[in-house]
């Protein structure tokens, strides 16, 4: 689904937007490449945090399963029945 330009004035607005001529430019704004680098760094940090969280969650689940298995084995060795 694309953008349809209804009139010549619409295409003129789009052209001026791409040229940066719709609003006055703020000279204190950082250049686009700097903003892109900042976004890239923030995404990498976010991805790393998500990956670490998944690893911690997985490790906890593994530890919980191991502990549950050990309890079951102790009960079995004592002749106790599993409940539930």
84 lies in some domain: no
Which among 34, 10, 29, 12 is positioned nearest to 21, based on CA atoms? 12
5 lies in some domain: no
38 lies in some domain: yes
13 lies in some domain: no
**8 Å CB contact between 25 and 19:** no
Tell me: the pLDDT tens digits for 43-79? 999 998 888 877 777 777 777 777 777 777 777 787 7
Residue 69 belongs to domain spanning: 25-78
Tell me: the pLDDT tens digits for 6-30? 666 788 898 988 888 888 878 898 8
Domain count, the chain: 1
37 lies in some domain: yes
**How far, in Å, CA of 38 to CA of 54, rounded?**
24
1 lies in some domain: no
**How far, in Å, CA of 5 to CA of 78, rounded?**
79
Q: What is the pLDDT of residue 82?
A: 58
* Predicted structure pTM score: 0.38
6 lies in some domain: no
15 lies in some domain: no
Summarize the chain as % helix, strand, coil (round to 5).
Answer: 70, 0, 30
């Amino acid at each position: 689904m694309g953008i349809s330009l209804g009139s010549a004035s619409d295409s003129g607005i789009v052209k001026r937007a791409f040229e940066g001529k719709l609003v006055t430019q703020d000279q204190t704004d950082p250049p686009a490449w700097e903003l892109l680098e900042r976004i890239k760094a923030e995404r990498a940090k976010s991805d790393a945090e998500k990956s670490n969280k998944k690893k911690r969650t997985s490790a906890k689940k593994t530890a919980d399963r191991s502990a549950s298995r050990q309890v079951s084995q102790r009960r079995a060795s004592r002749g106790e029945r599993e409940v539930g």
